[in-house]
Amino acid sequence: MKRFLFAVMAIVTIAFAGCSKDDDALPSLKGTVWVETDADAVSTLTFKSDIECEWIVTINGSASAVAMQYTYEYNHPVVIAYPKVDGYAKMQGMISGNTMNLINTSSEETVATLTKQ
């Protein structure tokens, strides 16, 4: 009987020790803002939810900006952003620490190196 109780206690202990919400939680981009400022423009990528983001490019010295809406998939460290409107490129972001390299998947050119704010 003691062996049976010991075995049951061991199984219960292992079951509770092995299950944690923290183990299953993937990093989220929701609410994060990433910015690049250079001599020509300011690029801001804002993750508004777990599936939507907005990329705004403002040309320095200009009052106008271009805002592009995307849906995205995130599998750390890769972000794939799909444009909501025809005419914009699909983007791929590679995150390393607080830096994201944003690549136009059509041309395979890096369009921005963003820093997490």
- 35-92 pLDDT, tens digit each: 999 989 999 999 999 999 999 999 998 888 999 999 999 999 999 999 999 999 999 9
- 2-42 pLDDT, tens digit each: 554 444 444 544 444 555 555 566 689 999 999 999 989 99
* Phi–psi pair at 21, nearest 5 degrees: -65, -30
Which amino acid would we find at residue 47? F
Residue ranges per structural domain of the chain: 27-116
CA-CA distance, 66 to 56, in Å (whole number)? 6
Q: Find out whether 47 and 114 touch, Cβ atoms under 8 Å.
A: no
Q: Tokens 């395979």 correspond to what residue?
A: 108
Domain 27-116, CATH: 2.40.128
